[in-house]
């Protein structure tokens, strides 16, 4: 079935005891995982709704990643640690802990062949690990500020990392050299009155044909400390590195794109959260403004797309994980005929 964004509706909700931070489907599509402000990692079985809690981190968990077969989960904490877990275990316990960074680990990515894991965070260094055994492979120093997002190029040759200053670094995995930079200047601003840097590449994505790179975050940050800013995604041509288009949403005055995904069917999906609430925004590839905006009912903080391409999970401040389906609601059962008096 082809995804129909205009038919988006929240089909299911899962609730926890603390506000949620991020979420990811496992590659098999059986589970949705989320993290929360109580330091927990949560796993819900989509079929049964059963919740399992993973606990081991000494802080919030900012990112999750899986082996391609879905058997191993890696979690990245704000406690410097990467932790390997048996993803499907009934009573999950850590199988490996690695002190990977100095400070928050904000982003993880897994290579297409499933052999390598990349991590990045507040120490401004991107690191490459063996996903199988957690052995360090290579480091990519060079970001001026915190690393916010990571993405492997499907060719296996490059790793992309986005930072607070709106820069995307393209690294050669084999040599560790910086191949080039994409300058996402619109994604960063310095507010002289408040004396703060703000923005950043909150999410990276490639279109299915790998011809375009998308870098998402926020712009028009007139009041960074007061959450006044608008969502934006920048579309770069991969070949030339040229900025082709900005995808914006002018009627969301208080929002940031926490994640951007290029749907296999074509549309671009952004997850926006902020003072205006939580939204799924849908853009056509060549359009500046979204063709559809779906309200999620509460501030969203992250998003993931199910392997079936028809379900979107969003993590929310109101402690709920919402499952939105991009297909028409099933028809309501026909009402029983009224009894005659």
Partner 1 sequence: MNCNYACGSAEHNIHRRQFLGTLAAGTGAVVGGLGWFAQPAFAEQMARQQKRMLVINMHGGLSQLESWDPKPGTATGGPFRAIPTSVPGIHISELLPHTAKQMHHLALVRSLNTKNDDHGKGTYMMLTGRRQMPGQDYPQIGAVVSRALDTSTRSLPGHILITPGGGGGRSADSAYLGPKYASIVLGNGNPPQNTSLPGGLTVAAAAQQDELRRLANNRFLSRRRTAQTDAYTQSYEGAQELMRQREAFDLTKESAKDHERYGTHDFGRHCLMARRLLEKGVTFVQISHSNYDTHNENFNFHFEQLGEFDRPFATLVQDLYDRGMLENTLVVVLSEFGRTPNVNQYYGRDHWGRAWSVCLGGAGIVRGAVIGKTNDKGTEVTEREADAGHLFHTYLKALGLNSKGHFDLGGRQVLMADPAVGPIKELLA
Our finding on whether 92 is near partner 1 (CB under 8 A) is: no
By CB under 8 A, what part of segment 38-57 binds partner 1?
A: 38-39
Our finding on whether 121 is near partner 1 (CB under 8 A) is: no
Our finding on whether 58 is near partner 1 (CB under 8 A) is: yes
Binding mask 61-80 for partner 1 (x = CB under 8 A): -----------------xx-
Cβ 10 to partner 1 shortest distance, Å:
18
Q: Secondary structure of the chain in the HEC alphabet?
A: CCCCHHHCEEEEEEECCCCEEEEEECCCCCEEEEEECCCCEEEEECCCCCEEEECCCCCCEEEEEECCCCCEEEEEECCCEEEEEECCCCCCCCCEEEECCCCCEEEEEECCCCCEEEEEECCCEEEEEECCCCCEEEEEECCCCCEEEEEECCCCCEEEEEECCCEEEEEECCCCCEEEEEECHHHEEEECCCCEEEECCCEEEECCCCCEEEEEEEEEEEEHHHCEEEEEEEEEECCCCCEEEEEECCCCCECEEEEEEECCCCCEEEEEEECCEEEEEEECCCCCCCCEEEECCCCEEEEEECCCCCEEEEEECCCEEEEEECCCCCCCCCCCCCCCC
Among 111, 119, 122, 189, binds partner 1 (CB under 8 A): 122
Our finding on whether 197 is near partner 1 (CB under 8 A) is: yes
Our finding on whether 37 is near partner 1 (CB under 8 A) is: yes
Cβ distance to partner 1 smaller for residue 202 or 247: 202
Our finding on whether 184 is near partner 1 (CB under 8 A) is: no
Cβ 255 to partner 1 shortest distance, Å:
10
Binding residues for partner 1, per CB under 8 A?
18-19, 37-39, 58-60, 78-79, 103-104, 122, 146, 192-198, 224-227, 273-275, 298-299, 317
């Amino acid at each position: 079935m082809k995804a129909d964004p205009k038919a988006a509706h929240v089909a299911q909700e899962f609730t926890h005891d603390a506000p949620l931070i991020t979420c990811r489907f496992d590659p098999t599509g059986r589970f949705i995982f989320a993290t929360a402000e109580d330091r927990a990692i949560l796993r819900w079985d989509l079929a049964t709704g059963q919740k399992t809690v993973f606990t081991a981190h000494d802080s919030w968990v900012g990112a999750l990643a899986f082996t391609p077969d879905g058997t191993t989960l890696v979690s990245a904490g704000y406690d410097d640690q990467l932790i390997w877990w048996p993803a499907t275990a009934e009573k999950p316990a850590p199988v490996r802990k690695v002190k990977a960074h100095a400070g928050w680990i904000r982003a993880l990515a897994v290579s297409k062949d499933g052999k390598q894991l990349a991590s990045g965070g507040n120490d401004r260094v991107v690191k490459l690990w063996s996903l199988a055994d957690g052995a360090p492979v290579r480091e990519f120093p060079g970001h001026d500020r915190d690393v916010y997002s990571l993405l492997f190029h499907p060719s296996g040759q490059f790793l992309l990392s986005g930072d607070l200053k709106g820069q995307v670094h393209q690294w050669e995995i084999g040599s560790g050299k910086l191949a080039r930079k994409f300058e996402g200047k619109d994604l960063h601003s310095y507010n002289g009155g408040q004396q703060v840097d703000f923005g950043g590449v909150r999410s990276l994505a490639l279109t299915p044909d790998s011809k375009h790179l998308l870098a998402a975050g926020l712009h028009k940050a007139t009041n960074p400390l007061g959450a006044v800013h608008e969502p934006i995604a920048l579309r770069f041509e991969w070949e030339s590195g040229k900025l082709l288009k900005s995808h914006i949403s002018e009627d969301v005055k208080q929002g940031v794109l926490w994640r951007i995904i290029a749907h296999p069917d074509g549309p671009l999906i952004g997850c926006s959260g902020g003072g205006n609430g939580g939204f799924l925004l849908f853009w056509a590839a060549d359009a500046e403004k979204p063709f559809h905006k779906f309200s999620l009912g509460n501030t969203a903080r992250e998003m993931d797309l199910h392997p079936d391409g028809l379900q979107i999970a969003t993590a929310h401040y109101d402690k709920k994980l919402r499952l939105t389906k991009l297909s028409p609601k099933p028809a309501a059962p026909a009402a029983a005929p009224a009894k005659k008096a």
